[in-house]
Amino acid sequence: MRLDKLICISTTLTRDKATRCILAGEVTVDGELITDIRCQVHTHRDIRLNGEKLIPRPFRYLLIHKPKNTICSNKDEAYPSVFTHVDLPDHSELHVVGRLDADTTGLVLATDDGHWSFDIIRPESHCKKVYRVGLSRPLPSGAADRLRTGVIFQGITEPTLPAALEFVTPTEVLLTIREGKYHQVKRMFAAVGNRVVALHREQIGDVRLDIKEGQWRALTADEVASFVKITD
């Protein structure tokens, strides 16, 4: 990770203050003075601030139940950040693993472990995601079959990966996909002549949403490790 970030997760310093310490020549890595804030370091190296060895705090892994009209950003914009519901220090260091649109609700994972999150969202992981989808009108059986086998988006030659589809009602389905193209769920139903009017994520990998809207909890060690198995 970047040297300035490592300082932040090892101290109470903000990113700006960590940057100033590096530029001022107050940081060494394995005994060598480093003034490049972009320097990439590993946590096992001997990193010192004014001679004091830095011990990074453990990475954090969270599950958040995202409400409607919040955004998966660290800062409030047109809508408030989903992290306004997270009462942790330095939550600005966290990032969302697989964002949801402002009008989409449900399960969001967040962490400050960049390697862990990258392994989940990279296309080769084929990490399972389950969505509860509300539709503008009933879905014909032929359209459902197309979604299960894969649809082609405008301007793209490769179809989506096969999806699992389960009817709850004629206008509500559970959709399971193993990829994460831009606005994928909405585009899939648009490709078969329908429109998504409500979208809620219930599951990522083996982790299911089990808390109320606006709440968060830490992932268990087994839940964190379950994603490592997915990417092996």
What positions carry a catalytic annotation?
101
Cα gap 142→170, rounded to integer Å = 13
Residue 104, Cβ neighbours under 10 Å: how many?
Answer: 21
- Give the tokens for residue 229: 């198995």
Cα gap 16→173, rounded to integer Å = 47
Residues near 21 by Cβ (< 8 Å), separated by ≥ 6? 7, 13, 27, 49, 50
